[in-house]
Amino acid sequence: MVTGTVTPGPAMLITSRCSSQSSISTSSCASSGTNTAPRQTAAAAEPIKVLVLGAPGVGKSDMRYTHSVTLDGARTGVEILDSCRCIATGCLFDHLRWGDAFLVVYSVCERSSFQAARGFLETLSQEKLPGYFTTVLLGNKRDIEHARQVDTEDGHELSLAYGCPFYEVSAAESATGVALAFHTLLKEARSLQLLKMLPIRRRSGVNSVSKVLGNIFGKNGKYKKKRPSLSI
Ligand SMILES: Nc1nc2c(ncn2[C@@H]2O[C@H](COP(=O)(O)OP(=O)(O)OP(=O)(O)O)[C@@H](O)[C@H]2O)c(=O)[nH]1
């Protein structure tokens, strides 16, 4: 079972990285920034690299997280990068290559941000497939119901079209929804990370999905499918 905790940070911890340099800073895109993010201690796995994507003003920077989570009882580093204004500065494609988990955010009060989210999902599938990556779609500002321009159903349909989980939240009202969405993203990213680490080695005797399942659930040898016989 996967257990995890995601702790909203007390301060702005979404990082910005405006070029493909290796240093991660807590600075904004405009400044050069020093590397003030907590260094990853000797963790077993690579940190999960999360890119937060969304049109300006959707509330991305209200989503703050510490840079470490516990998944499966193990501490896992997380690097979070706000796409910020990097679409304009041209770093977006570097960032897409950098990330392995993507939080695509729109505002339910702004139709154009929803279209932008659709664009990000499309770009992601063009840039990242057939590689491993994971995405969660997040509709923010659900607290401003009277100004809603995007139905919940629209968000749901979009998520189905791109095969990703979908949440509607209010980052301003409560951190819980955002934390839940983030946790979903990290769990999936961690599973993909483990999958990628598996050695690709063909072992004789285990050569089909059903055989592997049979081994796991102990059916091999106990259940023999009888083929219908036409002989009389
Ligand atoms: N009502 C409401 N306002 C929110 C919510 N989340 C963020 N905001 C507000 O929306 C405005 C924009 O939020 P930001 O976090 O600056 O948005 P951003 O996506 O980081 O914008 P850029 O930095 O321009 O990319 C701020 O005034 C936030 O306080 C929310 O859930 N509900």
115 C-alpha vs ligand 1 centroid, how far in Å? 17
Could you tell me the residue range of the domain that residue 112 belongs to?
45-197
Distances (CA, A) of 9 to 39, 71, 82, 164, 206: 16, 18, 15, 25, 45
**CATH number, domain at 167?**
3.40.50.300
- For residue 11, give both structure tokens: 């301060």
Query: Looking at the predicted complex, does its ipTM rise above 0.90?
Result: yes
Assess if residue 30 is contained within a domain. no
- One-letter amino acid at 7 equals T
Q: Which of 14, 16, 26, 61 to mutate to test the pocket of ligand 1 (most atoms within 8 A of CB)?
A: 61
Taking the CA of residue 83 as reference, the ligand 1 atom at the shortest distance is 25
pLDDT digits (tens, 9 = 90+) for 106-124: 999 999 999 999 999 999 9
Q: How far apart are CA 44 and CA 70, in angstroms?
A: 12
Would residue 29 be called left, alpha or beta, if left means φ above 0 and alpha means ψ between -120 and 50 degrees?
A: alpha
Number of domain units in the chain: 1
User: Which residues, judged by CB distance below 6 Å to any ligand atom, belong to the binding site of ligand 1?
Assistant: 54, 56-62, 84, 140-141, 143-144, 170-172
Q: Which of 29, 62, 87, 91 to mutate to test the pocket of ligand 1 (most atoms within 8 A of CB)?
A: 62
Taking the CA of residue 173 as reference, the ligand 1 atom at the shortest distance is 31
User: For residue 165, what pLDDT band results from cuts at 50, 70 and 90?
Assistant: very high
**pLDDT averaged over the chain?**
76
Residues sharing a CB contact under 8 Å with residue 154, sequence separation 6 or more, in sequence order:
114
User: For residue 225, what pLDDT band results from cuts at 50, 70 and 90?
Assistant: low
Assess if residue 28 is contained within a domain. no
pLDDT digits (tens, 9 = 90+) for 6-48: 443 332 233 334 443 333 333 333 333 333 333 433 345 688 9
- Which is nearest to 62 in space by CA: 164, 165, 138? 138
pLDDT digits (tens, 9 = 90+) for 128-156: 888 889 999 999 999 999 999 999 999 99
Assess if residue 22 is contained within a domain. no
pLDDT above 70 coverage of the chain, percent: 67
For residues 21 and 86, which has the higher predicted lDDT (pLDDT)?
86
How do 74-82 and 4-5 pair as beta strands? unpaired
54 C-alpha vs ligand 1 centroid, how far in Å? 11
For residues 179 and 150, which has the higher predicted lDDT (pLDDT)?
150
227 C-alpha vs ligand 1 centroid, how far in Å? 63
Q: How far apart are CA 169 and CA 14, in angstroms?
A: 18
Assess if residue 68 is contained within a domain. yes
Contact yes or no for 170/143 (Cβ under 8 A): yes
Taking the CA of residue 144 as reference, the ligand 1 atom at the shortest distance is 1
Residue with CA at minimum distance from ligand 1 atom 25:
56
Assess if residue 152 is contained within a domain. yes
For residues 69 and 52, which has the higher predicted lDDT (pLDDT)?
52
What is the rounded average pLDDT of the residues 180-190? 92
Residue 13 is predicted with a pLDDT of 32
Assess if residue 71 is contained within a domain. yes
Assess if residue 133 is contained within a domain. yes
